[in-house]
Amino acid sequence: MLPVLIDLGRFDDALRQSAELQGLAESTGDEFDLVEILAMRVLVLAYRGRASDALKHVQPSLKAAQRTGRAAVISEVIGTLALVSADSGLRDDAAVLLEEIEATAQLAQTPEYAFHAPMVVRVALSIGRVVLAEELMRHLVPRDPCAEHASIAASAALAEARGNLSSASDSYAEAADRWERFGVVPEQAFALLGQGRCLVGLSRPTEAVRVLQRAREIFERLKAAPALAETDALLQRATALIS
C-alpha cells in the first residue's frame, strides 16, 4: 500500500499510514515489514527536504535491510538511505551505500528494482559518480512496462550527465509521458524537471518554461521542497532568457 500511495503522489496519506503500520510492526516484532515501512517514510521525508528528520532511521534500517539478505529489500531500503545521505551532504556515505546496491547479487532479477532505479541513478549522478550510475543502470532489465519506463528515465539522466542535452531532453519527455500514463506522479515530475533543465541548457527558454511549470505544479502539490526550489531557480533563468 505505501509504495502505491507514494507513486500516486499521496505523500500525506503515506506518512499517516506509515506511522500506523510502524506501530503495528513494532508490536508484532516483524522486522521485515518494519524496515520497509521505515524506508517508505524516510523516502517521503527526503523528498520533502527533511533529511535531518530521516537520519535517525538510517542506521537501524540499514542493519535490518542487510540482515534480510534480499535483493529487493536492499535496493529499496539502501537506495532510500543513499538519497538521505546525499541530501545531508554525506557524499562518501551515499557512495558506499550505492556501491552495496550495485554489488548485490541477483539485483537484475528483482522486478522491484525498476521502481527505485531512476532514484538511485539520480543520487549517483548528484554526487558525481557517473560510472557508478552506469553500473546501477546495467542492472535494470526492461522486462515489463515499469522497467521500460525506468530505463528511459535513467538513460535520460545519464545522457544529461554526459552533456548530450538534446538526446536527454527527448528521453526525459518520453519518460514524463510514460510515467504520467502509468500513474507514477513523483517520477513524472522528476522527468519534467530534467527536461526543463536540458531545455534551459539548450537555450530553448519558452519550451522550458512550459515544461517547468508542469513540474512545479506537481512538486508544490507533493510539498517536495528541494525539487521545487530547483524548479523555481530554473524558471527564473528561463524567464530571464526570454526577456
pLDDT at 153: 97
pLDDT tens digits along 130-142? 999 999 999 888 8
State how far the Cα of 234 lies from the Cα of 230, in Å rounded to an integer: 6
pLDDT at 59: 61
First to last CA, the chain: 46
| Alpha-carbon distance values, 78 to 47, 102, 146, 208 (Å) | 15, 11, 20, 33
Query: CB of 231 within 8 A of CB of 216?
Result: yes
pLDDT at 66: 64
Q: Is residue 240 part of a domain?
A: yes
Q: Which residues contact 193 (CB under 8 A, 6 or more apart)?
A: 212, 215, 219, 227, 230, 231, 234
Q: Which CATH number characterizes residue 232's domain?
A: 1.25.40
Q: What is the DSSP string of 169-218?
A: HHHHHHHHHHHHHHT-HHHHHHHHHHHHHHHHHTT-HHHHHHHHHHHHHH
Question: How many independent structural domains does the chain possess?
Answer: 1
Q: Is residue 78 part of a domain?
A: no
pLDDT at 218: 98
pTM over 0.85: yes
Q: Is residue 42 part of a domain?
A: no
Full residue range of the structural domain in which residue 242 is found: 168-243
Q: Is residue 21 part of a domain?
A: no
The ranges of the chain with pLDDT < 70 are: 30, 54-72, 105
